[in-house]
Each structure stands twice: as C-alpha cells, then as structure tokens.
C-alpha cells in the first residue's frame, strides 16, 4: 500500500512539473543588468517581517524525488513534489520543530539577513545610501530613492539534505527578490532564490547544542544576504 502511495505521489509530482513547464512564459523573469542599474545611487531595501522557523523533513521523505526536485527547481520543484503529501507529514514536521524551538524563540532572522546585505552593499561603496525598511515607500516618499529593492523571506529553517544520511538537516532560506525603478515603475529584477546551508546534522544534535543550530541558521541567512548583495553590486552585462 505504501509503495502504491509513493508511486502515485511521484507520478503526481511529475505531472505537476509538466504543467508548470507548460505554463511558464517564454520570456524569463527579469534579472538585474549593468545597464538597468547604471543610474541607481539611492536604494530603499524593503524586508518585511519573516515567518516562523520551520522544519521540512517528513514532507520530503513522504514524496519520492522531492529532495532532488526541490534542489533542481527550487520552490516550484518542492511544491510539485509535495503535492501528494498529507497534513500528517506537516504535523510531523511541526512536532520536530518543537525539539529546537527553545533555541530559536528569540532569534531574529530578518536582522541577520538584512545586516549582512546592508553591510556588504555599503562596504562596496557602489551606492550613495541604502535605507532598510519594513514597508515599501509610496508616493512622494518613494521619489527619495532611485529604486526599491524588495526581499521577501518566504520560508527559513532546516530541511532534509539531499544525502539523507541519518535524516540529516541543513539550513535553508527561500526568498524572492524584486527591484522596481521609481522613475518609471519598471521592474528590473524578479527572482526566486533558495540558499542552502553548508552543514547537516540530525534534529537531535541540533536540539542538544543550541550553538550548532544558531550557527547553521546564521551562516545560511548571511549567505542569502550576500547573494542578494552580489546581484546588486555585480549585475550581468547587457540590457
């Protein structure tokens, strides 16, 4: 019975991915270019409050190919691969999170991410000033900036690593990044990113050692901040 369910989940994941592929526009979402960012000197960086810490483990184990699809196709791959999973797996992941919830109760992922992004951009001296915000400026307030960078951290925490050794988990951050020019409202960057951590440990190991967990989460969020900063500082050539 379990084998049949897993086969159905896999077939459903493949079907959803084919539907996604058939619906994807021929024109890819914009990514920043040197020409598009050439005149930008004043940046508003909008990072809304982040969602709660999550663990993504049972949902991936219940869906064959979910880890591979998630790694290869990011958010869309993970969505497709976990279509057939049930609320019971969601509940199991929430229970797993309770093992480490005391360690992250006061943790501030937004601060870690934004501090790294802001510091990296400022150290490069590419822009005149960079102002962090929780809400995007509108009307006359927006005219104080050349562009508004909006970064939404959609999910962060620990997820099953591709190796699946001992059900090990590594840090991850799923986010979307957009840049809109205030002069004409043109969108010059719209991208979904998944940043994965460099370590993997069991939930028991993370639960037993708070520093281990916080170091993995912090390094992953810092990597995400640097990744967005690099997109701003070193855009690709072209128009």
The Cα 137–Cα 44 span in angstroms is 8
Q: Tell me the average pLDDT across 143-151.
A: 97
Structurally, the chain folds into a number of domains equal to 1
The Cα 17–Cα 10 span in angstroms is 11
CB 154 within 8 A of CB 76: no
Q: Note the pLDDT tens digit of each residue in 208-235.
A: 999 999 999 999 999 999 999 999 999 8
Residue 172 is assigned to a structural domain of this protein: yes
**At residue 203, does pLDDT exceed 70?**
yes
- Among positive and negative, which fits the CA dihedral 92, 94, 95, 100? positive
Residue 146 is assigned to a structural domain of this protein: yes
Phi, psi for 41 (deg, rounded to 5): -125, -25
**pTM of the entire predicted model:** 0.78
Query: How many angstroms separate the Cα of 88 from the Cα of each of 84, 91, 151?
Result: 12, 5, 31
**At residue 11, does pLDDT exceed 70?**
no
The Cα 159–Cα 226 span in angstroms is 21
Q: Tell me the average pLDDT across 170-187.
A: 96
Residue 71 is assigned to a structural domain of this protein: yes
Residue 43 is assigned to a structural domain of this protein: yes
- Give 71's DSSP letter: H
The Cα 213–Cα 116 span in angstroms is 19
Residues ≥6 apart with Cβ < 8 Å to 192: 74, 75, 76, 174, 175, 176
Residue 120 is assigned to a structural domain of this protein: yes
CB 206 within 8 A of CB 220: no
Residue that wins the pLDDT comparison between 154 and 71: 154
The chain-wide mean pLDDT, for the chain, equals 82
Residue 171 is assigned to a structural domain of this protein: yes
Residue 238 is assigned to a structural domain of this protein: no
For the purposes of burial, counting CB atoms within 10 Å of the CB of 79, is it exposed (0-12), middle (13-18) or buried (19 or more)? middle
Range of the domain at 103: 2-233
CB 83 within 8 A of CB 20: no
Question: Across the strands, what pairs with 133?
Answer: 46
């Amino acid at each position: 019975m379990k084998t049949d369910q897993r086969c159905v989940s896999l077939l459903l994941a493949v079907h959803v991915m084919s539907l996604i592929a058939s619906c994807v526009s021929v024109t890819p979402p914009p990514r920043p270019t040197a020409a598009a960012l050439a005149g930008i000197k004043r940046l508003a960086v909008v990072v809304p409050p982040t969602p709660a810490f999550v663990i993504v483990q049972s949902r991936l184990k219940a869906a064959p190919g979910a880890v591979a699809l998630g790694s290869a196709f990011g958010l869309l791959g993970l969505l497709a691969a976990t279509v057939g999973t049930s609320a019971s797996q969601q509940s199991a992941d929430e229970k797993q999170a309770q093992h480490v919830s005391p360690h992250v109760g006061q943790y501030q992922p937004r601060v870690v991410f934004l501090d790294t992004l802001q510091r990296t951009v400022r150290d490069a001296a590419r822009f005149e000033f960079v102002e962090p915000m929780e809400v995007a400026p509108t009307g006359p307030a927006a005219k104080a900036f050349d562009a508004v960078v909006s970064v939404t951290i959609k999910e962060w925490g620990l997820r099953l690593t591709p190796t699946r050794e001992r059900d090990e988990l590594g840090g991850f951050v799923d986010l979307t990044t957009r840049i809109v020019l205030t002069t004409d409202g043109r969108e010059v960057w719209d991208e979904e990113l998944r940043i994965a951590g460099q370590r993997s440990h069991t939930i028991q190991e993370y639960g037993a050692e708070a520093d281990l967990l916080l170091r993995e989460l912090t390094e992953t969020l810092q990597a995400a901040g640097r990744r967005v900063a690099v997109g701003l500082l070193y855009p690709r050539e072209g128009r």
